[in-house]
Amino acid sequence: MTTPSLPILDLSSLGGPDHAAFLAELRDAARNVGFFYLVGHGVPAQLEAEVHREARAFFALPEAQKLDVEMIQSPHFRGYTRAGREITRGAPDWREQFDIHAEREALPQRPGLPAWTRLQGPNQWPAEHPMLRPTLLAWQAALTVVATRLLSAFAEALEQPKGAFEAITRDLPNQAMKIIRYPGRITEDSEQGVGAHKDSGLLTLLVQDTAGGLQVQGENGWIDATPIPGSFVVNIGELLELASNGYLKATVHRVVSPPVGRDRLSIAFFLGARLDATVPLLDLPPHLAAEATGPTADPLNPLFRNVGENYLKGRLRSHPDVAERHYADLLAGAPA
């Protein structure tokens, strides 16, 4: 391992005598880098080990059993995706993955409802691997606690009430996670494990194995997010950039495929706002507002303050096969 180039923050100092110092470090990391390592988070190492074990066991299943829960069967974008089937910036990602969200019933559909209401629904679970469901849902619950606490700290760091984000996350936050396996590359033509992108939610918490490959775009090139055992890699999503009028930065990142003969495992958790929420514009104090110059404008990735619309846009672009099967009515006449 090389010396990490991202800031390291200790969540256990939040609420203690170093509370103010933690908030200052958090604001600086999110403002200037958009990525940091989080230690002292309190999630048991045993639970992390269980998630890794169950993820490895799932990916070791015969392909036919994984395809029994393939995402194309789910209008809610849940389930298994083969390597090369998710698209980032128009190119295929060389990773296989299994996506879940909060375990909720599908919303009854009727004429006039916005299309994003189709996103809510149950997960798919492999019958041959019964321990995957309780393990991933336990991980999802544990990381929701950490991410919610961190979101409250962000509000304080921006000199807002601690509950500034509660209205858009209360009761029904958008909890999404995926277990991901990056096979060793099969050609030198492309190293794209995941193409360069920003995350669309509020916060992302990522656990890596020892293989490495995650890179963060810095001012002077790509920064390796070297794995640190027991830590989460945390990054800012586009919704926090919107809410802070660009003061906080959602940073571009990518994953480089491992070399031939190796693979890489990671577990990503995404905390987002309620699908029916509208992202607020925080009333920052003057000394912070002066540095908030608006969110990054990207004509290839327009941002909407309507959370459901924003999330649906991303899903349709990333999974065109699911979009064609379940959202063909939205694709007719839509721009590419």
Q: In which residue are the tokens 């941002």 written?
A: 303
Please calculate the CA angle 65-71-75 and round it to the nearest 5 degrees.
Answer: 140
Q: How confident is the model at residue 220, as a pLDDT?
A: 86
Residues 256-260 have a mean pLDDT of: 89
User: What's the rounded Cα separation, in Å, for the pair 195 and 274?
Assistant: 26
Amino acid at 260: V
Query: Do 260 and 184 touch, CB atoms closer than 8 A?
Result: yes
User: What is the mean pLDDT of the segment spanning 163-174?
Assistant: 94
Residue 187: pLDDT above 80?
Answer: no
- pLDDT band of 191, cuts 50, 70, 90: confident
pLDDT at 302: 77
Band the pLDDT of 296: cuts 50, 70, 90: confident
Q: What is the pLDDT of residue 189?
A: 65
Ordered domains of the chain (ranges, CATH): 8-331 (2.60.120.330)
> From CA 124, how far away is CA 145, in angstroms rounded?
24
The residue whose two tokens read 């958009």 is 34
- Tell me which residue has tokens 């933690």: 22
pLDDT in tens, 109-167: 999 999 999 999 999 999 999 999 999 999 999 999 999 999 999 999 999 999 999 99
Strand partners, 256: 192
pTM for the model: 0.94
Spatial separation of the C-alpha atoms in residues 226 and 212, rounded to whole Å: 6
Query: What DSSP line would sit under 278-335, residue for residue?
Result: B-------HHHHTT---PPP-TTS---SBHHHHHHHHHHHH-HHHHHHH-HHHHTT--
What is the average per-residue pLDDT within 92-100? 95
pLDDT of 334 strictly over 80: no
9-62 confidence digits (pLDDT tens): 999 999 899 999 999 999 999 999 999 999 999 999 999 999 999 999 999 999
Give 65's Cβ-side CA count (13 Å radius): 12
Mean pLDDT in residue range 226-239 = 95
Helix (H) or strand (E) holding 149: helix 132-157
Q: Is the sign of the CA dihedral 96, 121, 203, 42 positive or negative?
A: negative
Q: Is residue 335 over pLDDT 60?
A: no
- Look at residue 15 in the predicted model and tell me its pLDDT: 86
Residue 4 has pLDDT above 70, yes or no: no
Handedness of CA 127, 132, 135, 136 (dihedral sign): negative
* Residue linked to tokens 């509020």: 202
Average model confidence (pLDDT) for the chain?
93
Contact between 254 and 290 under an 8 Å Cβ cutoff? The reply is no
